[in-house]
Copies of this chain bind each other. A is one copy, B any other.
Amino acid sequence: MNRIGESITLTLFGASHDSRIGCVIDGIPPGYPVNVESITADLELRKPSAGIGTPRVEADVPEISGIVDGITTGCPVVITFSNSNTRSSDYEQLRRIPRPGHADYPAVSKFGPAHDIRGGGMFSGRMTTPLVAAGALLRDLIGSLGISVGSYVTRIGSVVDTNTYDPADVLTRSRTNPLRAMSSGIEDRMRAEILVAKSDGDSVGGIVRCFATGLPAGLGEPFFDTLDGEISKAVFAIPGVKAIGFGEGFAAAGLRGSENNDAYRIQNGSVVTLTNHAGGVLGGMSSGAVLDFSVAFKPTPSIAKQQMSVDLLTREDAELSVKGRHDPCIANRGAIVVEAMTVFTLADLALRGGFLV
């Protein structure tokens, strides 16, 4: 369904070429501040970067209701955006000839001829705009617990950032970098990787690493509504996500328990771990350490190169070169969307667990 969450729910509506898209956020406790500037700032991080993004540019000015004098009232908050820069004619043939790697074929199989094919309909990356606004709006809520969420891009195609960074540094520094890289040197290499793919009529994938600092221990509702499970469900809703791993992730499979376990120590009267191979999650709950997970985005499926497809009407093989306007890489724009879904999930779990009232 188009709703996620339990104590706080997020309902998404609209489609890529609808007149409006938006979301309803219900269950926010009354009395929390909402900073429209921080919503705008997060939306800026989702916009296509000069030279490497889609030529489709939208103003992305949020219209917000349910807030009085910058304070939540307990009412549902509604955030909408107008779509003005659409070219629906680019898409009609995709109903017959589905794009490889895109949602077209399963969507037409599921929804039939009524499926909104324009711009990918509800499966468009455009739908992540309200998600980013919702996440930004809830940052103050989890901020009241001392929780901050940030991310950076660790990989674009063959360019891999293997450096180690202080999570607190990531929270601020990667926001000033257009590609969400942690240094201008790596940014330059990542930009080149994207531009070479673009000039080939192709695309590249990437990896986003997300941190949340300041979590109390015990966030998450086992057995099934775990911290890692709820974040994963929320993150897999983001178009293009193919994998998620917490802490060591897949690499944990190659470790011994004595290497992977994080030793506890008392520091200044508090329980800390000397390492964080667990990524801040134990038994489906926050351990009190920094939440640390990585998310893989596939290369954008819409590419100019000719691809093999089928004509669903004549049931014959067909060829396709995708028109329309697309990003040659979505991982860097996806970073703020990963943050948004993480903020949302942490806010919902904080309310469910009685950490917020």
A interface, CB within 8 angstroms of B: 1-4, 10, 12, 98-103, 105-107, 109-111, 122-123, 127, 155-158, 197, 200, 202-207, 216-218, 220-226, 228-230, 232-237, 239, 241-266, 269, 271, 273-274, 277-279, 282-288, 294, 296-303, 305, 307-310, 312, 315-317, 331, 353
Contacts and interface: CB of A to CB of B under 8 A. Distances in A.
Contact of A305 (B216, B244, B252, B258): B258
13 contacts: A109-B285, A127-B223, A202-B256, A203-B256, A204-B255, A204-B257, A226-B233, A228-B236, A245-B296, A248-B298, A249-B296, A250-B296, A265-B310
Given A123-B222, A233-B232, A205 B255 contact: yes
B287 A252 contact: no
- Which residue, A4, A102, A106, A269, has most C-beta atoms of chain B within 10 A? A106
Contact of A257 (B122, B207, B301): B301
A285 B254 CA distance: 31
Q: Oligomeric state, in number of copies?
A: 2
Given A242-B249, A260-B205, A157 B233 contact: no
A139 to B, nearest CB: 20
Contacts of A247: 242
A191 to B, nearest CB: 16
Contacts of A256: 157, 197, 200, 202-204, 299
A106 B349 CA distance: 14
A308 B254 contact: no
A285 B252 contact: no
Nearest to A314: B266
Given A253-B331, A257-B300, A242 B234 contact: no
B310 A264 contact: yes
Given A12-B223, A106-B287, A223-B127, A202 B297 contact: no
A280 B168 CA distance: 38
Nearest to A207: B253
Nearest to A206: B253
A110 B353 CA distance: 9
A262 B100 contact: yes
A128 B178 CA distance: 45
B217 A110 contact: yes
A229 B232 contact: yes
B218 A110 contact: yes
A232 B257 contact: no
A301 B53 CA distance: 44
Contacts of A288: 105-106, 109
